[in-house]
Each structure stands twice: as structure tokens, then as C-alpha cells.
Structure 1
Amino acid sequence: MFKPTLFAAVLLAGGVLTALELTPSADTAVYAPGEPVRFTVSKLPANGRAAYRVIDFDRKTVRNGETAPGNLEFTGLPRGWYELQAETVGNAGEKARYPFAVIPEFDRSQTDWEKNQFGVMVAPHTRYPLAHRDFDAKFMERIGVRWVRTHRLNWIQIQPDEHKAPDWATADREVEIYKKRGLSIVATTAWPFPAWASSGRGTQIDAYYLDKMFPADKYIEQTKKFHTELARRYGDKVDYWEIGNEIDAENFWIGRYKHQGDKAAIMQDYIEFYIMIAKALRAGAPAAKIGPNTTGSAPDGNTYRDWLNVFLQNPEARKQMDYFSTHYFPSVPEIRKVLARYGKGDVDIIFTEIGGMAHSYRKVPTWEETCRNIRITCTHYATQLQAGGKALCKFLLRDIPELPPQGWIAGMLEGDFKLRPEYVAFATLIREIGDADPAGRINITRRSDKGWLHGFRFRRGGKTLTLVILNDAPKAAVTLDSASKELRVIDMMGRETTQIPQNGKLVLEMDSDRPLLIEGDISGEPGEGRDPEPVLVQEINVKCNGDFEMPVRGATIPYWHLGYDTGKGTPEQVGFLVSVDDKVKHSGRQALKIHAEKRTGFYAVCHTMTVPKLKLGQYMVVTYRWWAKGEKIDSIDKASFAPSLSMRRKDNSRIHWRDGDFERGTFDWMAGEQVRKYEQNDFPPDFNHFSLEFYLGKSTGTLWLDDVSINIKVMQRGASEARYLK
């Protein structure tokens, strides 16, 4: 049986390696209420002892003591997330930790399984051992997950080498694993595409893009044949086939090599690709449900806009689309409007990436960053369930173990299967509302003395449950109306209390990262619940010489400087040339001209700006606009012309950045706009300033830039007073 062991090791005097090791008796470290929680403590130094403590989700110590090598046993622990921490006594101070959970067993026979829309996405398109995949599935089954999204029923996984025949053994076993655990499968296929069959193969395009391109002509028939066989083998085992992943974004789809720089042509390349793959799948499984997948920018699209409208305007694409798939937190009503325009208003909308994804600027997330995902996941799931979303697959079940820290925390499990509290919260949601009927928002927005409240109502078996979520305040006193004699209150760790309303009022203390489920009658204000309308507190139009009309002194352009993050040598030394041009311009007397004869590093023109400090309940929206014209912009890397907004330290080193759309080829003057929103908790401690950069890094060609503007709005929201609500 596969069993992970977590440990901490140190090198003691004399060079002898020793380790303090904690091993749970349950391989998942998940226990049922009333079941003894047992750990084995081992690999202590000779005659050594270890001090231990068990902490709960509230960071309180609930058990502690000392132990020799051997067994520890804890009984009587309530439901929830815990962590066993141990440290050797009187020695080198080795430390070890092992999170565990106490969660009721999930009884599928007691649920309306077909109503359950809770799912997870497994570590995406990377390869990892079948034993780990089976262990992933065991974690899913344990808490009642129904849906699993996988990228591995895919040509590149089954035939990585063009000179060898497809090997179906691993895919067969993976499907068997999921069906054995009672999971319904969403299969993302035709991405990543085999690089060896890509139309970009043999060109100068960067290898990063090869698996995001249209197939080469000589592989078209082989492409069709493979996908027909794929569907023939697994068609009765897969509920939804997604063709591609986030194909409205340039970093996941760029079409044919000859169309680089032509967004309209690249969109048509995808439509052609989609129709080809869909028909091939149907040839193997006529009843297959097939659809495209986009980012959370639906329905408009990310890089390629107006994505859904353009896709559905093609009669054959429309015919081949059985459902629509998207990610995270788009507006389902807006998507439905577009679908209805083309007679597709009633198709399923599924969410194959959804839930909390906390950005971190540290390799190890803080406790607050880890817990924040619980609130975000509750908000995403409740909103999209109320809107009729299907197959809501949490991104992710488990961190991607093969990748280094990515600057975000998304997995409910760490890469080596350590439990995060969000796993327990997810189990609570499934147990309480997994098969409940969504019953709309309840208007309790103003019922907190700080911040504001979401209220989502669900009905199950004649009972009403309300998910209450506090926003924009770390803590608040909440007062809710209730006609019930008593209420069952459940926190996200599954811990229950019975509350008796006093004079028709229930008073609670709430924490923003600890939503509550309340079973019983809760009433609010008349009308649908809604979010507070933001109020503008401050607006700054940043002075930046964005029309480039100010006099140039030598090589100095006022308000702008040359910058680089990974280039070698200064921009001037490597031929990254910047000047003003009075002949080619969008307006006024002149524009900024950037030219590169050869590919170098990441070079840019930069503007540095400070930003206001935010107060509680405030957020900041940075909007930057520009006009750009390009001539023969070519890149073999995944970088070409792109704007980027970077967070920087006092020494100007970069902490984090957000790129805009990448542009290639030759194009006439076109407008660009990026809108970036920053919450109060988005700013790391060492943040000092922003810089706006326009890159022509690692590209050749000429770029003209003109009429750049930067606008900063500080918005107030979240106060429960009526003046912050319309």
C-alpha cells in the first residue's frame, strides 16, 4: 500500500544522519469521529524523547506532552483539522509536523448523488506514478467528491514518442482508478498537443508554444484517428470532453505558425481545430458530450475577444458544442445571454477550475494565506451553484509536486499529501449541501457591524441551510433574524453547536476566513441579496508623459527609463534602441519608438510610480491604456511586445508582476487596456512601488507606443452602513 511519510532530518555531530519521523496509522491521516488517532514516533536519537503538541484550526493546543519512540494515541477529538508537531528534547532540536483530520465517513447511499456537483482537478498535465493517482482518488472518495478533471486522456500522454505506437496501459489504469472510486470524469483532451505533431515544429517559435498549436498538415489524419480511438475506448466512461484548456488565452492557444500576430486568424484556427477533434471524438463515441474551455474572462475572452460570440457564429462549431466550460468566477447570466442568442441557452455550463487560489510572495504560505482560500472557495462554489453551474472542479486537489513554488497556494493538499484546512472545509460543504437544492441569495448584507455578509440559501430534505460569509473585515458581530426555536450552526471544520435565538435574534461573532452554515430559519431584508456598491475614495491620473511630447534631453525621455530583469548588459549595449519618432505617431507631434535588431533579454521602457496605502475595506484599481503599432515583431520565446505591471522592492528588484496580452507580427495602431485590481492583502511586506513596463524583450522588430495613460482609483466597500450601499 502506498503510504507517505513526512519527516525532518538533520546532520548530528560526527556526520550521522538522524531524523524525527511521524507516521499516522491511517494512510490518509484522515480519521472518523470516535476513531483513535494514532501516530508512531520513530528515528529519535538513542534514549531520546520528543516534546509534542496537537494544535487545532484555531491554533489552540488541544493535546501536549513528551514521548519516547513508540506510539501516540489521541481520543475524543472533535471534527476538524489538526496538526501534530514534535521536537526532540535535549538534543539537536529536530522538528517534524504531520497534519491530520477528523471527518465523518461519507455515506453515498444517503445522498442524491446525481445532484452532487462537487469535484476536483488533479495535478494537471504532468506525469506522476499511478500509486499517487490512486491515492489522490482515495482522498476524493473519502469526502464525497463526485467529479474529477484530468488532462491525461491525451495524445501526448499516450504517445509521447512519434516513433512508438500509442501505449494505452496507463490511461486504462487511470480510468479504472476513477471508476472504482465512483468518480465522474471530465477529460481535457487535445491539449497539451504533442510537440512532435505541431505546425510550429521546425520553425523559430519557442518550444513553450509547440503544444498549443494547430497540428502540422502531415499529422491531420493521425490526429483524427487517435481521437476517434480515444473516444471509442473511454466514451462510456467520460461525462464531459473538453477540447483544449483556456483556449481564449494566448498562453494556451496560438493556432498556426503562419498566423502569428493575427488574432482573428488564430481564433478561426481554434474553431477549425475544435470541429475536427469533436467530429473525431463522435466517430468513436456518438453520445459524447463535447465542449470548449475558456478562462474566467468568459464570455468576452482573454487574449482573443469577442470569443464566445465568434465561436458560436460558426454553424458547425455550434452544432458540435454540447456544453460550455469555463473557470473561476465569471457571470453565468452574461454567458447564458450569449448562448441563448444562438439557441444554446439551456446547455450545461461547467466549471473545471474554481475556488480559492491565494497568491503568496513566499515559498511557504502564511497561515492567513492558507485559510483565506476557504472563504474564496465558499464564495465561488455558492455563487456558481446558485447560478446552475455543473461539475465544479476545485483547483486543485493537490499542489503539483513536480513544480517549484508557483507564487500561489491552490491545493487542498500539499504536494506530498499533507492536509490543508481547506480539505476539511470542502468535506463539510459536500456533506451539508452537496446534494441540496440552491435557493438563491438572502439579503443579509447589512447584518454585521463591520464589513458585509454574503448569504446563500440551500434546501435539503425539508430543511433550510444558509451559508453565511463575512467579507472585508477580519472579525464582526453578526445579528440575524430567525423564527426558529433553535438553530444548528456548523463551521467549516464541521464542528456543530446548537444556538437558541433570543427574541427572534441570533447574535454571532464571525471571522472572515471562517464561514458558517446555519440550519433553520434565517430571514433578511426584502429583495435579493447583493454585494455593496463601491464608493470612490480617491482618483489619481498619474503624470507620466504618456504622449511622449515633453522635450527629450540627450537619451533621456522624461518620466521613463530603460529597464531589464533578466537581460545581460545594458539595453544600449545589446542594441535595444529607444527614441522618439515625429513621423510615425498616433497623435500629437511624436511617439516613442522601440527597435531591436537581435533577440536579447527582457528589456523594456519603464515608468515608476508610488501608490496610496489602503485602509480596511478599500481596494485599488489600476487601469493603464496605450496605443501601439508594430512592424515585424518576431519572437522565438513566449515573450514579445507586452505591457507588465510589476511590484518592486525599494532596491527596485521585482517581487511579482502581471503581464498583459502579447502581440506579434505587423499591425497598425491599435488600442490596448489592462485593468488590475489589488486588495489590501495583496501587498507583501517589502513592497515599495509599482513599475509599468512595455516590453519588446527577446524579440526583434519595431514598436511604436503613444498616448499611454495610467489611472488609479481607490474604492471603499464593505462597511455595513447604508451610505456604502445603493
Structure 2
Amino acid sequence: MFKPTLFAAVLLAGGVLTALELTPSADTAVYAPGEPVRFTVSKLPANGRAAYRVIDFDRKTVRSGETAPGNLEFTGLPRGWYELQAETVGNAGEKARYPFAVIPEFDRSQTDWEKNQFGVMVAPHTRYPLAHRDFDAKFMERIGVRWVRTHRLNWIQIQPDEHKAPDWATADREVEIYKKRGLSIVATTAWPFPAWASSGRGTQIDAYYLDKMFPADKYIEQTKKFHTELARRYGDKVDYWEIGNEIDAENFWIGRYKHQGDKAAIMQDYIEFYIMIAKALRAGAPAAKIGPNTTGSAPDGNTYRDWLNVFLQNPEARKQMDYFSTHYFPSVPEIRKVLARYGKGDVDIIFTEIGGMAHSYRKVPTWEETCRNIRITCTHYATQLQAGGKALCKFLLRDIPELPPQGWIAGMLEGDFKLRPEYVAFATLIREIGDADPAGRINITRRSDKGWLHGFRFRRGGKTLTLVILNDAPKAAVTLDSASKELRVIDMMGRETTQIPQNGKLVLEMDSDRPLLIEGDISGEPGEGRDPEPVLVQEINVKCNGDFEMPVRGATIPYWHLGYDTGKGTPEQVGFLVSVDDKVKHSGRQALKIHAEKRTGFYAVCHTMTVPKLKLGQYMVVTYRWWAKGEKIDSIDKAGFAPSLSMRRKDNSRIHWRDGDFERGTFDWMAGEQVRKYEQNDFPPDFNHFSLEFYLGKSTGTLWLDDVSINIKVMQRGASEARYLK
């Protein structure tokens, strides 16, 4: 049995190594209501003792005491997330922690299982021992997860070495694990692609891209043969075959090497690749359900624009598409419009990445950042379930252990299987609405004294449940109309209370990261529930000399300076020349010219700007536009020309950035635009200013820029006063 134990080691006086260790009696640290919660406390020094306490989701201490090495037992704990914290008594003061949960057992026989669209995604393509896969699946089964998205039924996993035959043993075992746990499989395949079979092999392409390219000609038949065998082995065990991951984005697909810089050709490369893989899969499993996957920019697309429209214009691609897969929070009605145009309006739309991904600017996220994912996940799932989405796979079940802190928190479990509160919230959602019928939004938007409300209705077994979510306020008093004599109110930890409406009114105190489910009659205003329309409260057109018409003084271009991505210093002048050009321009008298005879670093021209501080319920939209012309921009790395908007500290060091797409090759004047949205909690405490940067990164060639504009809008949405609601 795989059983993680959490401990912390210290070297005591005299050189004796000790480690305060907490080991739960349940390997998952998940207990049923009424089941005693037991922990073993060990690795204390001789005659040592440890002080302990148990805190709940509300950060309240519910049990405390002191213990010698041995067993602790806690009884009578209600449903929810908890954490056992312990500290050695004495000079060492060593600490340990172990989260655990009290969650009702999931009884699949008591549900309409086919209606359950709750799923998770597991570790994509890093190291993933079979014992970890089995243990992850145990966590899924425990709370009633139906779907699992895996990247492991994939050529790169099964035959990593071209000189060795495919080894199916691990893939066979993974499928057995999921089937044993009653899980339905979504298999992302043909991506990443084996680097040894890539058309980029032997070229100067950055190694990052090798597994995101079209196969080399000599491996085409082998590619087809492998995927036919893949489907033959697992076709009756996989519910959805997903060809590629977010292949509308350059980060994940760049086609053939000879087409670099030609987005239309790269898009056609994917269509050709998709058709080839789909036909090969269908040869092994004629009943297979096959589809492409894109980012949440669907239907328009990310790097490769008008993506779904262009894809469906190909008759064979259309024929080979049984469903459409996307991520996070696109508009399903807009996707359906495009699908319907090509006779595909009724196909399944599945979401293989969705849910909370709270941003953090710290190596250890705050409690608030961790809890924020609960609200985001509730909003994503409720919205896409109402729109008819299927196979909604939370990104991620568990953090990827091998990855360093990424600036976001997505896992419902930490990398070493420690429970986060979101896991308990996910269990509550599955238990209460997993097999319920979506019944639309209810208009309770204005029923809070601060912020605003989402209301999503679900019907199950003749009963109505309403998911209520507070937005744009940390806390608020909520007043809801109800004709019911009593209401069952369930928080995301699964804790239930019975509430008696007074004179037809239910009054609640709500926190934004603690949505509530209410069983019983809740009524709202006439009409469908809608998000409040934002109101413009401030607009700034940033003065930046974006037409580059101001006189140049020496080597200084007004409002612009040189820099590179770390913000530490300025780039070397050798090989990176910036000037104004009165011969090549988009408009006016002159444009900015950047020329690199030798390959640069990530060098850029930068404009620094301060922005207003946001108030409660506000968000900021930064829109920057430009015209650019390129000549022989050549990069062998994941680089070229691209804009970037960076958050920086007072010392100009970079906190966070958002890049645009990289452009390479030769191109005539073309317009560019990026729109970046920032919520109040997106700004870290040490944020000082933004920097807009235009990179000619790791490249040679010439770039011209002209007619750059920067617009900042501060919008009030919902917020604390009803006048902001329309």
C-alpha cells in the first residue's frame, strides 16, 4: 500500500537526528462521518512530548492538547477539511502538519452515474510512477469522480526510444487502474509527439518545440501503425480520444519546420495531422469518439485565429470530428454557432481543463489564495454544466511534484498528496449536484448588500438546489426570497444547517470564497440571471510617444528605454541597435527601428507606466496596440518579435509577465492588439509599475514599430453599491 507520511527533521544537541512524524490511519487521510480519526505521533526525542491542535476550514481550533509518542484519536468531527498541527515541546520546537478530511462515502449505486460530468486531470507528462497513478485514482473514486484525463496513452510514453519496441506494460496497467476504480477515460494522444520522429529533428528549431511538430516523412507510416495499435488495444476502454493539447496556441503546436512564420500553413499542418491520426485511431477502433482540443480562446483561437471555422472548412476534418474539446471558460453558445454552421451543432463539447487556478506571487500560497480556487471552480463548473458541457476535468487533481512554484495553485491535492480544502468542496459538489439536471441561472444578482451574486439552479429527484456565489466583496449580507417553510443550506465543506425563512426572507452572511448550496424554493427578479454590467470609472490614454515623432536627443528616444526580460540592467549595444527611421514608417514622419546583426538576448524597447490602485469591486483593462513590420527575423529559439506586459517592483525587477505571440520571418505592416485584464487580487503587495516591452528576442533581423497606443480602463463591476448594477 502506498502510504505517505509527513514529517520534519531536526538535529538535536549531541548529534541525534529526530523527526516529528504524523501518520494517519487512513492512507488518504479521508474519513467517513462517525469514523474515528486516528494519527500516530512518532520520532519524538526520548521522553519528548508534542503540543497539538486541530484547526478546521474556518481556521478555528476544534481540538488541542499534548501527547507523548503514540496514538491520537479524534471523534465527533463534522464534515469538512481539517489540519492536525503539532510542535515538539522544548527547545527544538519542531513543527509538522497533516491535513485530513471528513467526507461521506460515495455510493455510486444511489446516483444516476451517466449524468455525472465531474472529472479531473492528472500529471501531464512528467515522471508519474504507477503507485502514484493508483493512489490518485483512489482519491478520485473516494469522492465520486467519473472522468480522468490522461496524457499517458501516448506514443512518447510507450516508445520513448526509437531503437526499442513499444512497451505497452505501463499503459496497460494504467488503464486497468482506472477501470478498476470505475473511471471513464479521456486520452490526450499524439501530443507531445516523440522528438525522435519529429520533422524538426536535425534542424535549428528550439528543443522545446520538437515534440510539438508534424512527424518527419520517414516516420509517417510508423505513426499511423502505432496509433492504430493504440486504439485496437484501448478503444473499448477510452471514451474520448483527444488529438493534441491546446493546438491553437504556438506554445503547443508549430507544424512543419519549413512553415515557421506562416500561421496559415501551420494551421493546415495540424488539420492534416489530425486527419491522419483520426483515421489511424478509427482503423483500430471504428466506434472511437475523436476530437481536437484548443485553449479557452475557442472558437476564435489563440495564436492561429478563426481556428474552429478554418478547421471545419475541411470536409475530411469535419467528418473525422465526433466532438469538440476546449478549456476553462469560453462561451459554449458561440462555439455552438460555429459548429452548427457546419452541421455539427449537436456534438459533445467537453472541457479537459477547467476550474480554479489561483495566481500566487509567493513560493508558499496564502490561505486566501488557496481558498479562492473554490469559488472559481464553482463558477466554472456551474456555468459550463448549465451550457451542456461534458467531461469537465479539473486542472489538476494534484500538483505536479517535479515542477517548481509556477505562480499559480491548481491542484486539489498538494504534490505529496496533502489535501487542500478544494478537494472537500469538489466532493460536496459531486454529492449534491453531480447527477442533477441544470435548470438555468436565477436572477439574484442584486440580493447582497455588497458585491453581487451568481445563482445557478439544479434539479434532482423533484428537489431544487441553488448554488449561490458571492463576487467582488469579501463578505456580504444576502437576502433571498423563499416560499419554503424551511431550507437545507450546505456549505462547500459539506456542513448542513436548516434555515427557517422569516416572512418569506432568508438572510445569510456570506464570504466570497465560501459558496453555498440551498435546497428548497429560492426566487429572484424576473428574467435570466446575468452578471452586472461594468461601469467605466476612469480612463487613461497613456502618453508614450507611440508614433515616435518626438525629437530624438542623442541616443535617447523619449518615453522609451532599452531593457531585457529580467529588468536587471540594459542590453549590450553590440548587435542590438535602436533608432528612428524616416524611410520606413507606417504613418507620420518616422517609425522606431530595431536591428540585430548578431543574435540577441531577450532584448526589448520598454515603456514604463504607473497605474491607479484598484478599489473594491474594480478591475483594470490594459489595451495596447501597435503596427509592426519585420524583415528576415530569424530565431532558432522559442523567440522572435513579441510584445509583453510586465509587472515590476520598485527596483524594476520583474514579478510577472504576459507575452504575446512570437512573430518571425518577413512580413509587411500588420496591426497588433493585446487586451489584458487584472482583478484587484492580481496585484501583489510589492507591485510598483507596469512595463510594456517590444522584444526582438534571441533573433537577427530588423523590426519596425509605429503607432503604439496604450489605454487603461478602470471598471466598476458589482462592487459595494447597487448603483453600479444595471
- Check whether TM > 0.5: yes
Pick which of 401-410 and 633-642 moved more. Answer: 633-642
What are the Cα deviations for residues 568-622 of structure 1, in whole angstroms up to 9, with x where unaligned?
9842344211111111111111111111122232111000000000000000000
Q: CA deviation at 1:648?
A: 0.4
Structure 1 529/566 Cα, relative in aligned 2: closer, same or farther at 3 Å? Answer: closer
Structure 1 615/234 Cα, relative in aligned 2: closer, same or farther at 3 Å? Answer: same
Does the 8 Å CA contact 1:8/1:21 hold for their aligned counterparts? yes
Q: CA deviation at 1:463?
A: 0.5
**Alpha-carbon distance in structure 2 between the residues aligned to 1:98 and 1:637:** 43
What are the Cα deviations for residues 239-261 of structure 1, in whole angstroms up to 9, with x where unaligned?
00000000000000001111111
Aligned twin of 1:34: 34
Q: CA deviation at 1:720?
A: 6.4
Aligned to 1:456, the other structure's residue is in SS state strand
**Alpha-carbon distance in structure 1 between the residues aligned to 2:554 and 2:344:** 60
Q: CA deviation at 1:493?
A: 0.1
What are the Cα deviations for residues 134-158 of structure 1, in whole angstroms up to 9, with x where unaligned?
0000000000000000001000000
Task: State the identity as a percent.
Answer: 100
Does the 8 Å CA contact 1:150/1:188 hold for their aligned counterparts? yes
Q: CA deviation at 1:187?
A: 0.3
Q: Between Structure 1 and Structure 2, how many residues are aligned?
A: 726
Pick which of 580-589 and 151-160 moved more. Answer: 580-589
**Alpha-carbon distance in structure 1 between the residues aligned to 2:564 and 2:245:** 31
What are the Cα deviations for residues 671-704 of structure 1, in whole angstroms up to 9, with x where unaligned?
1111100000111111000000011121111111
Q: CA deviation at 1:17?
A: 2.2
Pick which of 117-126 and 593-602 moved more. Answer: 593-602
Pick which of 188-197 and 560-569 moved more. Answer: 560-569
Does the 8 Å CA contact 1:458/1:464 hold for their aligned counterparts? yes
Pick which of 518-527 and 584-593 moved more. Answer: 584-593
Does the 8 Å CA contact 2:534/2:724 hold for their aligned counterparts? yes
Does the 8 Å CA contact 2:568/2:652 hold for their aligned counterparts? no
Aligned twin of 1:113: 113
Does the 8 Å CA contact 1:445/1:720 hold for their aligned counterparts? no
Structure 1 556/91 Cα, relative in aligned 2: closer, same or farther at 3 Å? Answer: same
Does the 8 Å CA contact 2:567/2:653 hold for their aligned counterparts? no
Does the 8 Å CA contact 1:566/1:601 hold for their aligned counterparts? no
Q: CA deviation at 1:567?
A: 9.4
Q: CA deviation at 1:418?
A: 0.3
What are the Cα deviations for residues 392-430 of structure 1, in whole angstroms up to 9, with x where unaligned?
000000000111111100000000000000000000000
What are the Cα deviations for residues 104-131 of structure 1, in whole angstroms up to 9, with x where unaligned?
0000000000000000000111221100
**Alpha-carbon distance in structure 1 between the residues aligned to 2:568 and 2:715:** 40
**Alpha-carbon distance in structure 1 between the residues aligned to 2:703 and 2:720:** 49
Structure 1 448/566 Cα, relative in aligned 2: closer, same or farther at 3 Å? Answer: closer
Q: CA deviation at 1:639?
A: 1.9
Structure 1 574/38 Cα, relative in aligned 2: closer, same or farther at 3 Å? Answer: farther
Structure 1 434/407 Cα, relative in aligned 2: closer, same or farther at 3 Å? Answer: same
| TM-score normalised per structure 2 | 0.99
Does the 8 Å CA contact 1:567/1:601 hold for their aligned counterparts? no
User: Which runs of 5 or more residues in structure 2 are unaligned?
Assistant: none
Does the 8 Å CA contact 1:646/1:654 hold for their aligned counterparts? yes
**Alpha-carbon distance in structure 2 between the residues aligned to 1:336 and 1:386:** 14
**Alpha-carbon distance in structure 1 between the residues aligned to 2:125 and 2:472:** 36
Does the 8 Å CA contact 1:446/1:721 hold for their aligned counterparts? no
Does the 8 Å CA contact 1:324/1:347 hold for their aligned counterparts? yes
Structure 1 668/512 Cα, relative in aligned 2: closer, same or farther at 3 Å? Answer: same
Aligned to 2:640, the other structure's residue is in SS state coil
Q: CA deviation at 1:722?
A: 4.6
Q: CA deviation at 1:295?
A: 0.3
Aligned twin of 1:244: 244
Q: CA deviation at 1:635?
A: 1.4
Aligned to 1:641, the other structure's residue is in SS state strand
**Alpha-carbon distance in structure 1 between the residues aligned to 2:360 and 2:640:** 26
Does the 8 Å CA contact 2:648/2:691 hold for their aligned counterparts? yes
**Alpha-carbon distance in structure 1 between the residues aligned to 2:622 and 2:517:** 36
**Alpha-carbon distance in structure 2 between the residues aligned to 1:192 and 1:422:** 29
**Alpha-carbon distance in structure 1 between the residues aligned to 2:602 and 2:572:** 13
**Alpha-carbon distance in structure 1 between the residues aligned to 2:478 and 2:560:** 50
Does the 8 Å CA contact 1:571/1:577 hold for their aligned counterparts? no
**Alpha-carbon distance in structure 2 between the residues aligned to 1:275 and 1:564:** 42
**Alpha-carbon distance in structure 2 between the residues aligned to 1:96 and 1:573:** 52
Aligned twin of 1:460: 460
**Alpha-carbon distance in structure 1 between the residues aligned to 2:55 and 2:569:** 52
| TM-score normalised per structure 1 | 0.99
**Alpha-carbon distance in structure 2 between the residues aligned to 1:8 and 1:568:** 37
**Alpha-carbon distance in structure 2 between the residues aligned to 1:91 and 1:589:** 74
**Alpha-carbon distance in structure 2 between the residues aligned to 1:154 and 1:92:** 49
Aligned to 1:41, the other structure's residue is in SS state strand
Q: CA deviation at 1:10?
A: 1.9
Pick which of 593-602 and 644-653 moved more. Answer: 593-602
Does the 8 Å CA contact 2:616/2:720 hold for their aligned counterparts? no
Aligned twin of 1:357: 357
Q: CA deviation at 1:725?
A: 2.7
Does the 8 Å CA contact 1:20/1:94 hold for their aligned counterparts? yes
What are the Cα deviations for residues 640-664 of structure 1, in whole angstroms up to 9, with x where unaligned?
2111100000000001101111111
Does the 8 Å CA contact 1:567/1:600 hold for their aligned counterparts? no
**Alpha-carbon distance in structure 2 between the residues aligned to 1:595 and 1:175:** 54
Pick which of 6-15 and 564-573 moved more. Answer: 564-573
Q: CA deviation at 1:479?
A: 0.4
Aligned pairs for 1:274-423 (under 5 A) are: 274-423=274-423
**Alpha-carbon distance in structure 1 between the residues aligned to 2:141 and 2:623:** 44
Q: CA deviation at 1:13?
A: 2.7
What are the Cα deviations for residues 349-394 of structure 1, in whole angstroms up to 9, with x where unaligned?
0000000000100010000000000000000000000000000000
Q: CA deviation at 1:81?
A: 0.1
